[in-house]
């Protein structure tokens, strides 16, 4: 590679996403990324040479002359073995977390790119999940590895009944979605947002499910695709548990897998074998349009909320 380590280090700013494997804590993923990047940067970095003026004797025509000649001497103070590795710290911030047992797209911000994470958070993006479940038992932590507390039959569950429960969940959530969105449902603005499918809360809210549909139903196993916001993975597992109870049976969640986090999709996610300097630098470059879009949207949103605040002020004055 022709670039020097520090010039590469300077370009490492931005957002990228990785595919977190199941069974690994997100912090471990972060630390592994940091370790690998630092290792490669340090390998790029070569020991420096110091320029000194050393006296050197040169035979003149008749007598010994003492002149100072520019000579390059390896300076031990800056030697790698004395100074320690050149790069010891790389700022990596994590986006919306995934807990240990879940897998999928997880966004990381590198260097100054970490500030985009805050913008992403305040944009209140929706996220897509693929969630698998199994009927027949209930556990204490709603996942299939927990302690079994109940076993039930599930022969009576048909696809029809299952879909009806899903529709009910979506309906209930739709109502609270409109409530938390804080727009007047009779306004033109609300209509336009709803047409674009952008109607969602722009403030903090309890976990909301925007859409849920069944990908696969072969009892006892089933797979759901869920679009939601402000969720945790535990909430999704609990949802599976509640679907089980609603169907007069029980269910546990076997897999939670995030397929999209805001603008970041599976396609740009780096898998475990690609967690290295080259791939990360490339991913950052490729994701650039995404985070400029995030920033733009963020600015739009702050402007809108200021207008909204102004509007409410005026209304209070009037009344």
Partner 1 sequence: MLLEELDDPLWSELDVIPEDEGPQIAPIPPSSYTLKKYVDHSETLQKLVMLGVDLSKLEKRPNVGTFLLKLDFEKDIQKILFFLKDVGVEDNQLGPLLTKNPFILSEDLDNLQKRVAYLRSRKFSQKAIARMVSRAPYLLNFSVERLDNRLGFFQKQLGLSAENTRDIVTRLPRMVTGSLEPIKENLKVFELEFGFRKNEIQHLALRVPKVLTASKKRLTETFDYVHNTMEIPHNIIAKFPQVLNSSLLKIKERHMFLSLLGRAIYDPTQPNYVSLDKVASMPDDIFCTEVAKASVQDLDEFRKTL
Interactions with partner 1, residue window 60-99 (CB under 8 A): 75-77, 79-85
Instruction: Give the residue with the Cβ less far from partner 1, 24 or 214.
Output: 24
Catalytic residue among 99, 128, 141, 144: 99
Instruction: Give the residue with the Cβ less far from partner 1, 199 or 269.
Output: 269
Instruction: Give the residue with the Cβ less far from partner 1, 75 or 174.
Output: 75
Task: Confirm or reject binding of residue 21 to partner 1 (CB under 8 A).
Answer: yes
3-class secondary structure, 133: strand
* Shortest spacing between CB 83 and partner 1, in angstroms: 6
DSSP string, 20-41: EPTTS-HHHHHHHHHHHHHHHH
Is residue 226 within 8 A of residue 211, CB to CB? The reply is yes
Instruction: Give the residue with the Cβ less far from partner 1, 152 or 265.
Output: 265
Considering only residues 13, 24, 99, 205, which one is a binding residue for partner 1 as defined by CB under 8 A?
Answer: 24
Calpha distance 102→291 (Å, rounded) = 25
Task: Confirm or reject binding of residue 25 to partner 1 (CB under 8 A).
Answer: no
Please, what sign has the CA dihedral across residues 304, 309, 315, 318?
negative
Q: Which residues contact 245 (CB under 8 A, 6 or more apart)?
A: none
Task: Confirm or reject binding of residue 258 to partner 1 (CB under 8 A).
Answer: no
Q: Classify 318 in phi/psi space as left (phi over 0), alpha (psi -120 to 50) or beta.
A: alpha
Interactions with partner 1, residue window 267-296 (CB under 8 A): 269, 271-274
Considering only residues 41, 92, 103, 132, which one is a binding residue for partner 1 as defined by CB under 8 A?
Answer: 103
Q: What is the DSSP letter of 230?
A: S
Task: Confirm or reject binding of residue 51 to partner 1 (CB under 8 A).
Answer: no
Cα–Cα distances (Å) from 70 to 54, 79, 232, 315, in that order, read 7, 20, 64, 77
Task: Confirm or reject binding of residue 28 to partner 1 (CB under 8 A).
Answer: no
Is residue 50 within 8 A of residue 72, CB to CB? The reply is yes
Query: Is 99 one of the catalytic residues?
Result: yes
Tell me which residues touch partner 1 (CB under 8 A): 19, 21-24, 75-77, 79-85, 103, 257, 266, 269, 271-274
Q: Which positions are catalytic?
A: 99
């Amino acid at each position: 590679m022709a670039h020097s380590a520090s010039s590469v280090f300077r370009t490492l700013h931005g957002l990228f996403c990785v595919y977190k494997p199941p069974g690994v804590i997100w912090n471990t993923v972060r630390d592994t990324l940091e370790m690998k990047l630092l290792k490669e940067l340090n390998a790029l970095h070569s020991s420096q040479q110091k320029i000194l003026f050393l006296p050197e004797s040169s035979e003149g025509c008749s007598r010994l002359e003492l002149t100072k000649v520019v000579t390059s001497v390896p300076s031990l103070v800056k030697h790698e073995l004395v100074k320690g590795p050149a790069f010891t710290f790389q700022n990596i911030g994590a986006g919306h977390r995934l807990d240990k047992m879940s897998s999928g797209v997880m966004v990381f911000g590198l260097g100054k790119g970490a500030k985009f994470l805050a913008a992403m958070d305040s944009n209140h993006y929706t996220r897509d999940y693929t969630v698998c479940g199994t009927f027949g038992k209930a556990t204490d932590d709603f996942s299939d590895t927990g302690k079994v507390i109940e076993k039930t039959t599930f022969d009576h569950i048909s696809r029809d009944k299952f879909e009806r429960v899903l529709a009910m969940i979506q309906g209930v959530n739709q109502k609270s979605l409109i409530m938390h969105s804080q727009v007047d449902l009779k306004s033109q603005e609300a209509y336009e947002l709803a047409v674009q499918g952008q109607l969602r809360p722009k403030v903090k809210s309890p976990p909301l499910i925007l859409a849920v549909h069944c990908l696969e139903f072969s009892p006892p196993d089933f797979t759901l695709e869920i679009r939601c916001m402000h969720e945790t993975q535990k909430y999704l597992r609990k949802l599976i548990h509640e679907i089980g109870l609603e169907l007069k049976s029980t269910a546990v969640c076997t897999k939670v897998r995030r397929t999209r986090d805001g603008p970041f999709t599976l396609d740009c996610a780096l898998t475990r074998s690609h967690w290295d300097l080259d791939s990360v630098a490339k991913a950052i470059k490729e994701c650039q349009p995404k985070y400029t879009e995030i920033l733009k949207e963020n600015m739009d949103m702050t402007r809108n909320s200021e207008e909204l605040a102004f509007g409410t002020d005026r209304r209070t004055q009037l009344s």
